[in-house]
Chains A and B, each alone.
Chain A
Amino acid sequence: MTAVEDRPDAEIGQSRRRKEDHHLITGRTTWTDNVTLPGMLHIAMLRSPVAHARITGIDAAEAKGRPGVVGVFTGEDFKDAQGSLPCAWAPDGLVNPNTPSIAVDQVNFAGEIVAVVAARSKNEAQDALEAIGVDYDPLPPVLDMEAALKDGADLVHPTTESNKIYTWEFESGAAGTGEPIQEALDTAEVTIERRFIQQRLIPSFMEPRSTVVQPVGDGITMWSSTQIPHILRTLLGVTLGIPEQKVRVIAPDVGGGFGGKIAVTPEEVLCTLVARALTKPVKWTESRSESLLAAHHGRDQIQDITLTAKRDGTVIGLDVHLYADMGAYNRLFGPSVPVLGAFMYNAIYKFAAYRFVSEGVFTTKTPTDAYRGAGRPEATYAVERIMDELAHELGMDPMELRRKNWIKRDEFPFTTVAGLTYDSGDYDAATDKALQLFGWDDLQRERAERRDRKDPVQLGLGISTFTEMCGLAPSRVLGSLNFGAGGWENASVRMLATGKVEVVVGTSPHGQGHETAFSQIVADQLGVPFEDIEILHGDTQSSPKGLDSYGSRSLAVGGAAVVKAAEKVVEKARRIAAHLLEASEDDLEFEKGSFTVKGAPGSSVSMGEIAFATFLGHNLPDGIEPSLDADATYDPINFSFPHGTHLCAVEVDTETGFAKIRKYVCVDDVGKPINPSIIEGQVHGGVAQGIAQALYEEAVYDESGNLTTGTFVDYTPPSAADLPGITAERNVTPSTYNDLGVKGVGEAGTIASTPAVMNAIVDAVRPFGVNDIQMPATPERVWRAIHGQEKSGRAEEGTNAYGGATTDGGAL
């Protein structure tokens, strides 16, 4: 036991070790796949082996007779009951064909579910899949976004007129947030144009998805490895016509998400339908290869970027056109992902004019949706890469170019050309600290020496000075963008009889450490020990209200709700304390968990004593309910805007093309720190995922639309041996938009790091005439770039949609 006297003055700011850890390091975990219920059946999904085909027949008779098989279901069985999977973003004109959980008469991507087996054991369920015969009448795969948009292109969906889903446009002249873009383009002294490819990525959370459904009366209880139990509850009910109050969703231990578990999945719908059809609990747990194939993917955009500037380096206009591959269907937030980036392309720079146009496209690939950063990494990559290209064009130092154009510390609050108002930041301070930690001057010298002596191993230095919008999101803003949800968050704080505290939150963690961070906040608010606080989350029955965890919102929005609820508890406690102390409320001081009468040091009452008195109810002021708890719902007034400077040094072996990160330093400003250790961990992990995009990961389809990176042998998340040490430090300018002064950190590292790495690689090989390399920068691609073979554009027709690696190695 820690003695109270040893406690820090404030919990906030301490690197508290996590409350979450003990059960995780001892294996006493509650992953969904650990759930076992009496009579539980096991589900296996038969998935289409082809990208695009009409289903002309399914023969499940043999499978139904296999040992242990209790039921086999096809699209015909559920075509009426399954509804359409929801898409929570509905701008005018969104083309949104029916999104079935199980294909009925057509499959539109390889991996789409065509049959479901329920059996007494997992083995029997999987064995029975092999006994199901499906006849496919092939249709042409649709793989290339630009080809898919042409007149006469093969259509993914027979019910739409084209493969285009939407065009979403923002233009600063029209919006009144800046100058007209056309003028900037027409009058440019310098124009830089680039096409960047955001390759398709797979979130690759470590815990494969799993869902358990138990029929309960005329409702269900669902355990699922989800980031969004609350949204899932509401939308599952709506999709299947189950009254919301009859649906309970539990997100137990969830092993990572990174956006990949922001979904109402086909598997969740089908488990529900099968459990209800058989009136038995069911469990489905995917294999990794199933996960890579069928869980939603991320990124997959073609970015055409035009930047205009004056010869002195002043940036003027930024014109952005995106093609965004949605895959075969609009999933929950898929179409809106590019739009989350729309406000971020201008980044920390004072552009005068800006245009953003995004076109969503259907292809016969796995649907895309949120992946860590969702829209903002793409935006940051494009602007940070093209700033380097501008610097090269002008012969300027890339950091000096950035300094010349970024918002200065005394210019906050600053309303950008995209219409957002940044409240705080200090780009100079973060940058200066990063440069010093990095040893920029020494590395620059070494780079010059290696260049001079034509060393086979060249050194490149890369910069990324990023910002992002976090804390999703003000409900009114979401409304104006046509989202079908608000962005508030809920928390309640209740004092128990013994003075202990339960805090119920609507955010739903999957590794972030909410229990620890929220306990620190409440400890300071109520003046109770950190250990006395329990955070309840992830079960719609015990935590009925919330909008879950994504978009770096849990602390900036959820934490703010916790503060508001705790403040209400303290206010009520004050009234009771005044009564108990026979003093006026105005004469009470609240400090370290006790109310004291000003000027009468001996007379005080602690929160614990107030809680017990409230529980007894023997002696309360008139009209006071005998409870000491409060509920708060907080709707943020604005986004928060973390920023930082990330620096990367890469050694490129020019003989083999192998790029090795030599040093990585970042200084992030995520506002006021609650738990510095957790912040550092978030940055480390985020940076690693951003590096992985730059160097290692890519979902590749072959010319018939089959995923060829279907296991971790071919889709290669990096191990410890592949990644560098990361120096992650902080600079602090508090957010002014929430009481905690926090900005959010979940996505920062991922957003920032990818362009830092790629800028470093391009810098290393720029003497060879290289000005871009497609991600991931595999040794082969780097080697080909050095040897002048880098293709600037697309893969040859019929290989891959946009120049990713292909199975025949056709693209670079």
Chain B
Amino acid sequence: MTKINVKVDGVSYSDEVEPRTLLVHYLREQVGKVGTVVGCDTSNCGACTVDLDGQSVKSCSVLAVQTDGSEVTTIEGLAANGTLHPMQQAFHDNHALQCGFCTPGMIMAARDLLKNNPNPSEDEIRQGLEGNLCRCTGYVNIVRAVQQAAGAKA
């Protein structure tokens, strides 16, 4: 077991983890952040995407021990004081989710996309979300949601 100190959604945690523990399993099983989900085992689907020290990462492909001293934001930490993050609001407004399983990762990836490119073209949105699979929406409304969120920021 290895001791790690991680801040998750603004709260500091100090935990013992097995070195093999994936960040996503640490978040789900030790911190209780079950909003972040596991959709595959080859880092293709992106459902587990969280923000690690300011960048989107796939938490299934990061070891919890690697995040010692880091700060993690999950989908559960986005809404502030009951107000949805603009990307969450945009997903709701544009019917950009159906079953909702990919949604936490998709929102986290989309949020990161706009951080790096505040005014993306449709093609840039599609390329920027290439690491996140959705089986329900055909992505059309996800693209619209990102466009709305970009407009709201501009």
Contacts and interface: CB of A to CB of B under 8 A. Distances in A.
Asked if the two chains touch in their complex, CB atoms less than 8 Å apart, one says yes
Given A254-B99, A681-B98, A720-B126, A25 B88 contact: yes
B138 to A, nearest CB: 3
Interface string B117-145: 00000100111011111111111111100
A617 interface: no
Interface string B22-64: 0001001100011111111110110100000000000000000
Nearest to A723: B139
A711 B84 CA distance: 34
Given A26-B76, A28-B35, A206-B101, A720 B40 contact: no
B65 interface: no
A288 B100 CA distance: 17
A15 B141 CA distance: 14
A440 interface: no
Given A26-B79, A29-B100, A206-B135, A725 B143 contact: yes
B95 A711 contact: no
A206 B104 CA distance: 12
A561 B146 CA distance: 37
A256 B98 CA distance: 8
Interface in B89-108: 91-93, 95, 97-104, 107
A208 B35 contact: no
Contacts of B35: 26-29
Contacts of A305: none
B75 interface: yes
A255 B101 contact: yes
A31 B37 contact: yes
A17 B135 contact: no
B78 interface: yes
B101 A685 contact: no
Contact of A720 (B29, B45, B135, B142): B142
A458 interface: no
Contacts of B143: 720, 725
Interface residues of A, number: 58
Contacts of A15: 95
B119 to A, nearest CB: 18
Given A21-B100, A207-B101, A721 B37 contact: no
Contact of A27 (B42, B92, B104): B104
A726 interface: yes
B37 A711 contact: no
B135 A256 contact: yes
B75 A26 contact: yes
Nearest to A288: B40
Interface residues of B, number: 57
Nearest to B107: A25
Contact of B42 (A689, A711, A722): A711
A121 B135 CA distance: 30
A721 B130 contact: yes
Interface centre among B44, B78, B102 (most CB of A within 10 A): B44
Contact of A712 (B40, B74, B79, B99): B40
Given A18-B92, A206-B45, A712-B44, A31 B129 contact: no
Most buried by B among A207, A687, A711: A207
A635 B20 CA distance: 54
Nearest to A678: B95
B101 A27 contact: no
B95 A25 contact: no
Interface in A693-750: 711-713, 717, 719-723, 725-726, 728, 749
A31 B138 contact: no
Nearest to B143: A720
Contacts of B95: 15, 17-18, 677-678, 680-681
Contacts of A54: none
A513 B98 contact: yes
Contact of A726 (B41, B47, B138): B138
Given A25-B91, A206-B135, A720 B125 contact: yes
Contacts of B104: 27
A253 B100 contact: yes
B92 A288 contact: no
B93 A17 contact: yes
Contacts of A711: 40-42, 44
A651 to B, nearest CB: 15
A123 interface: yes
A713 B98 contact: no
B136 A685 contact: yes
A511 B100 contact: yes
B97 A21 contact: yes
Given A26-B75, A27-B76, A206-B47, A681 B137 contact: yes
A289 interface: yes
Contacts of B102: 206
Interface string B8-21: 00000000001010
A688 interface: yes
A194 interface: no
B141 A681 contact: yes
Contact of B138 (A24, A33, A688): A688
Contacts of B38: 33, 208
B138 A713 contact: no
A597 to B, nearest CB: 42
A677 B34 CA distance: 29
A25 B92 contact: yes
A25 B122 CA distance: 22
Given A258-B135, A719-B131, A721-B126, A22 B44 contact: no
Given A206-B101, A207-B37, A719 B141 contact: no
Interface in A481-518: 510-513
Contacts of A287: 40-41
A687 B138 contact: yes
A513 B18 CA distance: 40
- The residue among A25, A207, A289, A682 with the most chain B CB atoms within 10 A of its own CB is A25
Contact of B122 (A20, A28, A725): A725
A518 to B, nearest CB: 16
22 contacts: A20-B100, A21-B91, A26-B79, A27-B74, A27-B104, A31-B34, A123-B20, A206-B99, A206-B134, A207-B101, A253-B99, A255-B99, A255-B101, A256-B99, A258-B135, A289-B42, A712-B40, A712-B133, A720-B126, A720-B132, A721-B129, A722-B130
Given A255-B37, A723-B138, 8 more contacts: A24-B100, A206-B102, A206-B135, A207-B37, A681-B98, A717-B133, A720-B129, A721-B130
User: Which 8 pairs from chain A and chain B are nearest by CB?
Assistant: A27-B35, A255-B101, A24-B100, A511-B99, A688-B138, A684-B138, A511-B98, A712-B44
